[in-house]
Amino acid sequence: MRRGTRGRPASGGPAVLIRNVDVEGYGRVDVRVAEGRVVEVGPGLGGRTGVDGHGGTLLPGLHDHHLHLTALAAEAASVRVGPADVNGADELAKALTGGAPGEWVRAVGYHESVAGKLDRAALDRLVADRSVRVQHRSGELWVWNGAALRAAGMDDAGDGRFWRSDERLRGRVPSTPLDLTGVGRRAAARGITGFTNADPHPDPDLHTILRPLPQRLTVLGLDPAAPVKIRLDDLTLPTPDELAERVARTRPRPVAVHCVTRVQLLVTLLALDTAGAVTGDRVEHGAVIPAETVEWVRRLGVTVVTQPHFPVERAAAYETDVHPEDRGHLYRCGTLRAAGVRIAAGTDAPYATADPWAVMRAAVGREGPEALPPRAALGLFMGAPLAPGGPPRAVAPGARADLCLLHVPLREALRGLSADCVRAAFVDGRPITG
């Protein structure tokens, strides 16, 4: 039996009655589930059997629309060397030499504010007696020390800096143990029943690798119906016509274009104007959306899969790294919604928090017009995997029984927006919380 949006059968789930729950659009009801679907919603469906919801809200399960699952699962076997974890070269060296000599060290979360720009020579000064590789917080750069390069037979690889080279480096390092059980369990406890993996070059065996996850899985670029991810880089930026040709080649499939700068967004919008946008096209991140382009984004009908928590989590770095002209346009949320642009959110874990509730709180706490009302913040994680930002999924007859049960009524949950209010999660009607 296969998993995922592509392969997981909708049928075969157990028959379950979830009693005494609050369902938006219905009020206090019972919900009957069978064969992986909601089959009946209404008051007094079935005596005392089943799960008693105690008046808590039953919602569609949350879907994290953008994250990197193998990198997240590798975190348990990694050393954290971000600005929140270490400060200065001495602490960095200590963190990198914490394990047994001879083992490969995988360090993550690095930012230049810790100990400056890293390269092979700088790392060798910190650690020479074991193989070390350090990933930049952006997830786009690995720096290897001399011992690591020699161990991998790549002693001639220059300064040890590998920019966007995950595909090339795959197979060069001993495989990292993946804590998929932990990732699945923590996500379930947060009410997450589905993930969209957003690696630019997904491992062709990703569905097999991720099989231990109980959540439903969509993989950009791999699943036949899912968008194809296109990663742009200012240094190698295609012309709008070149990008339009690339988009045209992926049709009828939608595209998910990585846009973190002003010029990347403009090239993408021009290309979509030329190629024609289709349902399911997405802008990943939309880090800089100038005010004058908001209406253009709406007209194209693309969904912006945003990270409203980045300006909060990365406030210090943005003070120095972001051009002053761009600061007013960072990770728009409220203004996009007000303009009728389809928006959805992904945590981008492990490069930011894996907790969608923290993302919702950040969206509500944004300054001025970018703030979202709490229900809209919750909605960022409620769209369908292949139509994020589209019509919200609902708990209603015929819907998939991927569900999130809260301890409390919705109004109370929206006040705190905390994962603490999650009581249980179900995929195809099967409980995935312990």
Complex with Zn ion: residue 198 or 419, whichever CB lies closer = 198
Number of residues that bind Zn ion (CB under 5 A): 2
The tokens of 16 are what? 């379950």
The tokens of 420 are what? 């603490």
- The DSSP bridge pattern shows strands 192-197 and 216-219 to be parallel
Complex with Zn ion: residue 198 or 255, whichever CB lies closer = 198
Which amino acid, residue 373? P
User: Residue 377: helix, strand or coil by DSSP?
Assistant: helix
CB of 256: closest distance to Zn ion in angstroms?
10
Contact partners, residue 327, CB within 8 Å, separation at least 6 = 318
Alpha-carbon distances of 7 from 200, 221, 279, 375, 400, rounded to whole Å? 21, 16, 22, 31, 14
Q: Is there binding between residue 370 and Zn ion (CB under 5 A)?
A: no
φ and ψ at residue 165, rounded to 5 degrees: -120, 20
User: Residue 141: helix, strand or coil by DSSP?
Assistant: strand
Complex with Zn ion: residue 22 or 348, whichever CB lies closer = 348
Residue with tokens 């879907």: 63
Complex with Zn ion: residue 198 or 362, whichever CB lies closer = 198
- Quick one: how far is CA 371 from the chain centroid? 20
Q: Is there binding between residue 199 and Zn ion (CB under 5 A)?
A: no
CB of 71: closest distance to Zn ion in angstroms?
9
Q: Is there binding between residue 30 and Zn ion (CB under 5 A)?
A: no
CB of 66: closest distance to Zn ion in angstroms?
6
Taking CB under 5 A as the criterion, which residues in 329-348 touch Zn ion? Answer: 348
The residue at minimum Cβ distance from Zn ion is 348
β-strand partners of 288: 330
Q: Is there binding between residue 75 and Zn ion (CB under 5 A)?
A: no
Complex with Zn ion: residue 351 or 426, whichever CB lies closer = 351
Choices 73-81, 196-204, 235-243, 375-383 (CB under 5 A): range interacting with Zn ion: 196-204
Taking CB under 5 A as the criterion, which residues in 345-364 touch Zn ion? Answer: 348
Q: Is there binding between residue 313 and Zn ion (CB under 5 A)?
A: no
Cα–Cα distance, 222 to 250 (Å, whole number) = 12
**Where along the sequence are the contacts to Zn ion (CB under 5 A)?**
198, 348
